[in-house]
Amino acid sequence: MPGRMTVEDPMSKNKENDSGASRGGSLDIEQLFEAARDDGALSPEAMQALHITDLGAQIQAGFGVQVDDVASSEVVLVTVMPDDSGSIKFAGNAPSVRDGHNLVVGALSDSRQRDSILAHNRYLNGAVLYPYCPIAQAVKMDTKNYDPMLGTPLYDQTVVLLGTVIAKAQEFALSGVPARTVTLIISDGADAGSTWAKARDVCALVRDMRRAEAHIVAAIGIDDGNTDFRAVFRDMGIEDRWILTPKSDAAEIRKAFALFSQSAVRASQGGASFSKTVAGGFGG
């Protein structure tokens, strides 16, 4: 098993509290995973998935804002992983993915709950556009920061992404701040390029997140003409009601992002609304 995953806060070297949550000092990602396990939120299979390789540096890149810098009494973590593989560009869908992301950010920024929403964007090949930050500070995607031309390590990077979501939510929970999460994975192809994770590893994480009833994991599979995206995402543990499969068409892709945007806004409106959104999926 790889060594402990630690994130150093450059602002301070104050000691950690007993729970492992950051109080301005060194934040131990491993302690957050262990706390989630001890709370019954992470199964042995999920813990194993998070330790196939050392994810510390990759999770650190997405961690962003400190808990103590968030004034809200509860938070919603909205996390997106846009596909930056070359096929997106070759199919002419890069503008649609950019616009879709920006539509989501705009809708959340305009919502009444914006002060409690933190957002994070990690591209499918691991580059972080922005770590967790207030939604008003989320960076819009444009031609300079999004030029898809890489591969599709779908399983590897989904494990990294969900590990970041789980650890960040646990950090808030240990500080007494309830956290709910809404995560969107976007791909126009099946996995091609993962070197250490399998669909079952992603499934172990998604299954535990679903059981906790504080997480939504959704996916958009942009039609490439031959991939059965419902089968791909099902194997990753994602429920049918949280899977969209738009055609490779600007209007269809925009509609899919708009549906996710509506779901994310509803999910941010408090516990009862979140639970209703979880049950209803994209249609609810």
Checking if the pLDDT of 278 tops 70, the result is yes
Query: What residue ranges do the domains of the chain occupy?
Result: 72-283
CATH number of 72-283: 3.40.50.410
Model confidence over 168-192: pLDDT tens digits? 999 999 999 999 999 999 999 999 9
User: Phi, psi (5° rounding) for residue 168?
Assistant: -65, -40
Site of tokens 């995973």: 33
User: Phi, psi (5° rounding) for residue 71?
Assistant: -85, -20
- In the DSSP assignment, the letter for residue 141 is P
Q: What is the distance between the alpha carbons of residues 99 and 118, in angstroms, rounded to a whole number?
A: 19
Structure tokens at 199: 């669909």
Strand-pair partners of 221 = 187
- How far is C-alpha 177 from the chain's CA centre? 19
Checking if the pLDDT of 8 tops 80, the result is no
Structure tokens at 10: 């450059």
Structure tokens at 183: 């995560």
Could you tell me if 103 and 256 are in contact, meaning their C-beta atoms sit under 8 angstroms apart?
no
Model confidence over 28-79: pLDDT tens digits? 899 999 999 999 999 999 999 999 999 999 999 999 999 999 999 999 999 9
Residue 23 confidence (pLDDT): 36
- A 10 A CB-CB count for 111 gives 19
Q: What is the distance between the alpha carbons of residues 118 and 122, in angstroms, rounded to a whole number?
A: 14
Model confidence over 103-162: pLDDT tens digits? 999 999 999 999 999 999 999 999 999 999 999 999 999 999 999 999 999 999 999 999
Question: What is the average pLDDT score of the chain?
Answer: 92
Strand-pair partners of 121 = 80, 130
> In which band, very low, low, confident or very high, does the pLDDT at 284 lie, cut at 50, 70 and 90?
low
Checking if the pLDDT of 25 tops 60, the result is no
Model confidence over 233-258: pLDDT tens digits? 999 999 999 999 999 999 999 999 99
Query: If you count them, how many residues does the chain have?
Result: 284
